[in-house]
Amino acid sequence: MADDLLSQLKTMTTVVADTGDLDTIRRFSPTDATTNPSLILQAAQHESRRARLAEIARQATDIDDALDAVAVEIGSEVSALIPGYVSTEVSARLSFDTDATLARARSLISRYAQHGVGAERILIKVAATWEGIRAARILEREGIRTNLTLLFSFAQARACADAGVTLVSPFVGRILDWHKAQQPDADFSGDRDPGVQSVKRIYEHLKGHGYSTIVMGASFRNAGEIIALAGCDRLTISPKLLEELAETRGTLERRLMPLDAETRTPEPQDEAEFRWEMNQDAMATEKLAEGIRKFMDDQRKLEALLSELRKS
Residues tagged active-site: 125
User: Is residue 171 within 8 Å of 152, Cβ to Cβ?
Assistant: yes
For residue 235, what are the β-bridge partners?
Answer: 15, 217
Phi/psi at 2 (nearest 5 deg)?
A: -65, 150
User: Is residue 87 within 8 Å of 125, Cβ to Cβ?
Assistant: yes
User: Is residue 206 within 8 Å of 185, Cβ to Cβ?
Assistant: no
Per the rule left: phi > 0, alpha: psi between -120 and 50, beta: everything else, 189 is: beta
Q: Please list, in sequence order, all residues whose beta carbon lies within 8 angstroms of the beta carbon of residue 248, skipping any fewer than 6 positions away.
A: 4, 5, 223
Say how many residues make up the chain: 312
**Distances from the Cα of 192 to the Cα of 8, 71, 177, 203, angstroms:** 23, 37, 13, 17
Q: Please list, in sequence order, all residues whose beta carbon lies within 8 angstroms of the beta carbon of residue 288, skipping any fewer than 6 positions away.
A: 127, 128, 129, 150, 152, 156, 278
User: What is the C-alpha to C-alpha distance for residues 244 and 225, in angstroms, rounded to an integer?
Assistant: 13
**Distances from the Cα of 248 to the Cα of 13, 114, 224, 251, angstroms:** 17, 42, 12, 10
For residue 97, what are the β-bridge partners?
Answer: none
DSSP E strands, the chain: 14-17, 32-34, 86-89, 122-127, 146-151, 167-170, 214-217, 234-237
Q: Please list, in sequence order, all residues whose beta carbon lies within 8 angstroms of the beta carbon of residue 263, skipping any fewer than 6 positions away.
A: 210
